[in-house]
Amino acid sequence: MVRICFVCLGNICRSPTAEGVMRGLLADAGCEDQVEIDSAGTSAHHVGESPDRRSTKHAKRRGVILEGASRQFVVSDFGRFEYIVAMDRSNLQRLRAMAPNDAARARVVLLRDFDPESPDGSEVPDPYYGGDAGFEEVLDVCEAGCRGLLETLRARNEL
């Protein structure tokens, strides 16, 4: 079983979107039972809240289901997940600073680094304060990154 946690700041827009997209891709590939997926935020601001209604609305139009409640990423998560996938450099830095050791720190990566069309270090933009176009862009970016992550898992014989 491969375990992946997608992480953004509040765990209501970007990371639940990536989680939902990845669940759909795994289901389409017939390997959803081989991967455990979760999402979290580095901030406790939205703990217990459902995914942002705008994220949910745009995802639903594409057949992507966003579920669950926001939670904060905690140090013990480093022992639970092989892949800790940050949505942006700020959260990447926060997660690496939290890591209990170098091995855990090395498991923290950016989602867009799995997208071969994306320059290294690219971020998933935060749509929270913007309009509909931002939520659509997040879906596009998450789909590309999650497809790349799925291919990486296959190439590493983890699926």
Query: How far is CA 147 from its chain centroid?
Result: 12
Residue 46 has which token pair? 């939205």
Among residues 13, 14, 38, 146, the one annotated as catalytic is 14
Among residues 5, 8, 142, 146, the one annotated as catalytic is 8
48 φ/ψ sector (left φ>0, alpha ψ -120 to 50, else beta): left
User: Residues near 57 by Cβ (< 8 Å), separated by ≥ 6?
Assistant: 135
8 is catalytic: yes
126 is catalytic: yes
Among residues 31, 96, 107, 126, the one annotated as catalytic is 126
Contact call for residues 108 and 141 (beta carbons, < 8 A): no
| Phi, psi dihedral angles at 110 (to 5 degrees) | -90, 140
Catalytic residues: 8, 14, 126
